[in-house]
Amino acid sequence: MNTKRNWWRLVGWLLIGVMALGMLSACSPKSQAGADPETIAEATAVLTAPAGQMAGDIPVLTIKMVNGELSAPDKVPSGPVALVNESGLPVEPIRLNDGVTFEELTATLAENEEAVLDLISLLGSSENAVGQIIYDLSPGQYVVADTSEEGDALVGPITVGEPSGATPPTADVNVDLVDFNFAIPSEIKAGPQLWQINNKGEQWHELVIIKLDEGVAMDDVMAMIMSEEETSGPPPFEMVAMWSPMGVGTTAWVEWDLPAGAYTVLCFLPDLKGDFQPHAAHGMVANLTVTN
C-alpha cells in the first residue's frame, strides 16, 4: 500500500485497511482456539447485567493470554455475547463468511491480503467503550484478532452455535447505519449511555463522533476529505468516540460516556460499491446534541 496518502485516505482506506487488512494481515495464525480448560470454563460463565441497562444474563466470550499467546474457547452460543478481554491487547471478533474456513483465511492472508476482505465480516469495536462490548453473534465460524498496530495474533476458529436464549440489552440510544444515512436521535443525555448500533445498509459502515474545532464548519472538514492534496498536521476536530467498521447485518452494544456538547457523527469509509468517495460525501453525516 502506498504510504503517501492524503488525510482522507488515511482515515478512510486505512480504517478499512488497517483495521481490517492491517489487523488481519499483521496477524499470524499461530494462536488457535485453545483447549485450555480454565478458558473454556470461563467462556460458559455469564455476565450479570447492570440494573436498568440489560435484562437477563448474557454469555461471555473470554479472551486471555495463555503461555504468551491469545486463547479463546472453541465454541460459544449465538445471540448476545459479551466480549471479556483479559489478554491485555485490543482485540475484535471477526466472522468468517459462510463457507469460508479458517484454513482458507490463513492461506489467503499469506497469498493476497486484499482478498481477505471478501472472506470476512467485521463486527466493529471501540477504544472508548465503558465496560464490555456486547455483540449479537449469528451462527458460524469466527476468529479473534489482535488489532494493535503491531498485532501478531489471530485465534480461531471459534464456532458460534445454537442460541443461548439470553435477552438482548436494552439500549438508551439506538442507531441504524444505512446507505448513506444515520437513523440516530438528534439529542441525548450526557453521561453513560448504552448504544445499540445496527448496520442495516448494504456496505460496511462505521460511526465516528467528532467535535469540530472552534471556527471549523463541517464544510471545511468535507473539503479536506475530498481534497487531492496531502494534508499535514492534525485534523481540525477532536475524535470523541468511534465504532470501527462493521459488516452488513451486524449489531453490537457499546456504552459511551459523552459530556454535554454539540457533536458531528459521520462515516469516513469509502463507497466500495460505487465511486469510492467517503460515505460522508454521500450524506452520511448527522448532528448530535448531548445535554445535561
Strand pairing of 133-137 and 120-122?
Answer: unpaired
Domain boundary among the residues 163, 197, 225 is at 163
Q: What φ, ψ does residue 251 adopt, rounded to 5°?
A: -140, 140
The chain-wide mean pLDDT, for the chain, equals: 81
Q: Same domain for 182 and 125?
A: no
Task: Note down the domain range covering 286.
Answer: 171-291
**Average pLDDT over every residue of 237-258:** 95
In this prediction, residue 152 has a pLDDT band, given cuts at 50, 70 and 90, of low
Q: Same domain for 143 and 274?
A: no
Q: Same domain for 48 and 126?
A: yes
Instruction: With respect to residue 194, please indicate whether it lies within any of the assigned structural domains.
Output: yes
pLDDT surpassing 80 at residue 272 = yes
pLDDT for residue 99: 96
90 and 127 Cβ atoms separated by less than 8 Å: yes
Q: Same domain for 31 and 70?
A: yes
Count of structural domains, the chain: 2
Q: Same domain for 258 and 156?
A: no
pTM (two decimals): 0.83
Q: Same domain for 42 and 153?
A: yes
pLDDT for residue 153: 78
Q: Same domain for 43 and 134?
A: yes
pLDDT tens across 173-203, in order?
A: 999 999 999 999 999 999 999 999 999 999 9
Q: Same domain for 217 and 267?
A: yes
In this prediction, residue 147 has a pLDDT band, given cuts at 50, 70 and 90, of confident
Q: What φ, ψ does residue 106 adopt, rounded to 5°?
A: -65, -35
Q: Residue 250 maps to which CATH number? A: 2.60.40.420
Strand pairing of 187-189 and 285-291?
Answer: parallel
pLDDT tens across 25-37, in order?
A: 444 444 444 444 3
Q: How many CB atoms lie within 10 A of CB 30?
A: 12
C-alpha–C-alpha distance, residues 61 and 43, integer Å? 5
Q: Same domain for 102 and 198?
A: no
C-alpha–C-alpha distance, residues 188 and 288, integer Å? 8
pLDDT tens across 46-99, in order?
A: 333 333 334 348 999 999 999 988 999 999 999 999 999 999 999 999 999 999
Q: Same domain for 273 and 222?
A: yes
Instruction: With respect to residue 4, please indicate whether it lies within any of the assigned structural domains.
Output: no
